Structure 1
Amino acid sequence: MPKGTPADYTRTIRRHQLKEMVPLADSTIFEMERRGEFPRRYALLPRTVVWNLAEVEAWLADRRARPIFRAQHVDVRDRRTRPVKD
């Protein structure tokens, strides 16, 4: 096998390293991957999945750059069932 320079290799991270960087539940990460909103994992071995570190860092930088707007609060007094009385 020819030896390459360190720049030729893609740095990958495993699940526990990803969880240290991105504190989201596994199901949330899986759903975001499915929708194309998070970098895709790939199988290194049959029971080992990894993520590309550069892609995850780029995703984090993009998330930091864009503000996330929260949903507006719902006025519970406008509910049709079980309205809150003043």
Structure 2
Amino acid sequence: MREINEDRVIREKECRELTGVCRTTRYEMEKQGRFPSRISLGGRSVGWVKSEVVAWVKNRERVN
């Protein structure tokens, strides 16, 4: 059985697929404290901790 690593860093494409929210909206939500903060991966690259994004999605589903 393959173990799913929820603490890995995900990039833009996977974050968009998981959340269904475009980059601009996510960045605005992040500024407002309504979305997990991105982390710098060096240069202009950023990512998000997958477990934080999954928790955000689950919380959003619970609220709606």
TM-score by length of 1: 0.63
Point out which structure has higher relative CO (alpha carbons under 8 A, 6+ apart): 2
Kindly report the root-mean-square deviation, in angstroms, between the aligned alpha carbons of the 2 structures.
0.9
Higher strand fraction (1 or 2): 2
Percent of aligned pairs with the same amino acid = 36
Which residue matches 1:31?
28
Aligned length: 58
**Unaligned segments of structure 1, at least 5 residues:** 1-9, 68-86
Residue 54 (structure 2) pairs with residue 57 (structure 1) = yes
**Which is higher, the Rg of structure 1 or of structure 2?**
1
**Unaligned segments of structure 2, at least 5 residues:** 1-6
Determine which of 1, 15, 18 is the counterpart of 1:18: 15
Moved over 2 A (4+): none
TM-score by length of 2: 0.83
